[in-house]
Amino acid sequence: MIRTRIAPSPTGNLHIGTARTALFNYLFAKKMGGKFIVRIEDTDLERSSRKFEKDILAGLAWLSIEADESPVAGGKFGPYRQSERTETYRKNLEILLSGGLAFYCFHSQKELLEERESLMKSKKPPVHLCEYRNMGPQESEIFKEAKRDYIIRFKNHVGRQIFFHDLIRGDLTFESDLIGDFSIAKRIDIPLYNFAVVVDDETMQISHCIRGEDHLSNTPKQILLIEALGFKKPKYAHLPLILGLDRSKLSKRHGATSVGEYKEMGYLPEAMFNFMSLLGWNPGDDREILPKEELIKLFSLEKVQKSGAIFDINKLDWMNGEYIRRKSLAELSELSRPFLKNFLRGSKSKEHIEKILAVEQPRLKKLSDLPEKTDYFFKEPKYERGLLRWKKMTDDEISSSLNLAIGLLKENKSLEIEKLEKVFLEEAQKMGDRGLLFWPLRVALSGKEASAGPFEIIKILGIEKTAARLKYALKLFS
């Protein structure tokens, strides 16, 4: 049975990097008919909070990366929070300690720091081969009773090579001498990451450990612990880092980094799902719009790239637009509601909103652009009168253009909009430059440099409002 997992620490909101890792774990598990598990790594009680756990789980649910087992979904390998698994860790720590495979280290922070600095100074790797590694249990007890501060370390092998095969990076080798006696717990009931993760992966029967490349240096440590405890080694796949457009590691400097922020900005979960799937993977051809079901069919770890994956916001904008265009107007109107809420007070009918959205749907990139793009449908536009000027028109020419529009509107008010547009077009053609009639008209209606075309707007505003806005524009020149 294929079982994959993510193990986020609830010390911040759901990060794009974690979401991408979750997605690859999910796609792989689903493709193989396996299970995807979310467990919460909250051993650092000071930095962990339920608020962040909620954000992480809600973000995954929003993206429809559904967990088969999690603190909320439950499952038979639970509990799924490390803080609730203390007994399991303790048992396994005791096995290592009593077998002489782990030991109590009584060095103070200061001593360790000094050792590190002196090693660095003499250009040696900062590896701690602990003086306490051979201390027997009785002596350790005496030290502990004397209230000496301690941590628990793994007694590493000397001069050993650790091999493993990474499904993305191929065969890798690490030297135990460059790892040293690494720490595995702060106390018997406070395990540290490398130890807890190994116990969790074993007890949750994780078959594939798919995680960020930043964990590569942890893997040999985890393999040593797996061997020491007689556990089964999962398969490993380390995903490339996500980079900003400048090729440095994605960070706040590049813009939003949490999934929640993208939701707030009006990106659709389907678009995020699709976009993130291409962060380090592609189907082997140039297809990019790949909905969830298709991605599950196509995904393979072999096609994950080794080099960093660039997070290109322009591509996300484009892709989001594509997904927006796949929505029905009813769906789009439902999705847009939170973004237009300031305009929706009062009696705006559903059809009215849908008509407005139909105008914007073909060019919209994200839902949060809607208020700025559609406000003039809901309230009178405000603008500088200079905006009404097309090219080098004089004030008088603008006034007469507006007057002409008002006149044409009055004469043809019973015409259908398409016919009305024809009348305007014919008139504009006579003027030699369509902009002379259409630009002031469009700006008078929208108050914007860029907007939908004037007749798209008139269709929604109606003749009366259109005439009123033209008259208002005209007044700016009186």
**Catalytic (active-site) positions:** 252
Q: Which of residues 208-237 bind ligand GLU (CB under 6 A)?
A: 211, 215
Q: How far is the CB of 197 from ligand GLU (least distance, A)?
A: 5
CA distance readout (Å), 114 to 40, 107, 110, 117, 120: 34, 11, 6, 5, 10
d(CA 257, CA 321): 20
DSSP symbol at 383? -
Q: Classify 5 as helix, strand or coil.
A: strand
Asked whether position 308 contacts ligand GLU by CB under 6 A, the answer is: no
Asked whether position 7 contacts ligand GLU by CB under 6 A, the answer is: yes
Record the tokens describing residue 333, joined without a space.
């109107």
Q: Classify 161 as helix, strand or coil.
A: strand
Nearer to ligand GLU, 179 or 356 (CB): 179
- Binding segment for ligand GLU (CB under 6 A), chosen from 6-14, 99-107, 289-297, 470-478, is 6-14
Listed residue (81, 99, 89) closest to 40, CA to CA: 81
CA distance readout (Å), 439 to 378, 401, 407: 21, 9, 16
Nearer to ligand GLU, 8 or 244 (CB): 8
What contacts 116, CB < 8 A, 6 or more positions away? 126, 128
d(CA 462, CA 48): 56
d(CA 321, CA 304): 26
Q: How far is the CB of 200 from ligand GLU (least distance, A)?
A: 9
Q: Which of residues 31-60 bind ligand GLU (CB under 6 A)?
A: 41
Asked whether position 8 contacts ligand GLU by CB under 6 A, the answer is: yes
Nearer to ligand GLU, 4 or 333 (CB): 4
- Binding segment for ligand GLU (CB under 6 A), chosen from 7-15, 276-284, 419-427, 468-476, is 7-15
Q: How far is the CB of 161 from ligand GLU (least distance, A)?
A: 22
Asked whether position 14 contacts ligand GLU by CB under 6 A, the answer is: no
- Binding segment for ligand GLU (CB under 6 A), chosen from 5-13, 61-69, 71-79, 85-93, is 5-13
Name the residue whose CB lies closest to ligand GLU: 211
Q: How many helices (H) and strands (E) does the chain have?
A: 18, 12
Q: Tell me, residue by residue from 194 to 213, as one string, x for binding to ligand GLU by CB under 6 A and - for no binding.
A: ---x-------------x--
Nearer to ligand GLU, 28 or 323 (CB): 28
Q: What are the φ/ψ torsions at residue 168 (nearest 5 degrees)? A: -105, -40
List contacts with ligand GLU (CB under 6 A). 7-9, 18, 41, 197, 211, 215
